A = this chain, B = another copy of it.
Amino acid sequence: MSIKIDETKIRPYGDSLDDGRMQFSFALPAPCNEKGKEAATQVLKQMGLHDIEICYLNDLGEGFTHFVAYASTSVTVDLTKIQVKIVETPVMNMEETDAFIEENIGREISIVGACIESDAHTVGIDAIMNMKGYNHRYGLERYKHIEAINLGAQVPCEELLQKALEVNADAILVSQIVTQKNIHIKNLTKLIELSEAEGVRDKMLFICGGPRINHELAIELGYDAGFGSGSYATDVASFIAFHYADKIKKGE
Contacts and interface: CB of A to CB of B under 8 A. Distances in A.
Interface of A: 5, 10-14, 17, 21-30, 33-35, 37-39, 42-43, 46-49, 53, 63-64, 73, 75, 77, 79, 82, 84, 86, 212, 214-216
Contacts of A39: 10, 77, 79, 82
| Nearest 4 pairs of A and B residues by beta carbon | A22-B26, A46-B75, A12-B26, A23-B25
Nearest to A48: B47
**Dominant secondary structure of chain A at its interface with chain B:** mixed
A77 B12 contact: no
Copies of this chain held together in the complex: 2
Nearest to A33: B86
A12 B27 contact: yes
Contacts of A10: 28-30, 39
A178 to B, nearest CB: 14
| Of A37, A42, A64, A216, most B-chain CB atoms within 10 Å | A42
A34 B75 contact: no
B43 A75 contact: yes
A90 to B, nearest CB: 15
A65 to B, nearest CB: 10
A53 B13 contact: no
Contacts of A28: 10-13, 77
A112 to B, nearest CB: 27
Given A13-B28, A17-B29, 8 more contacts: A10-B39, A28-B77, A33-B86, A34-B84, A37-B214, A38-B84, A43-B75, A46-B77
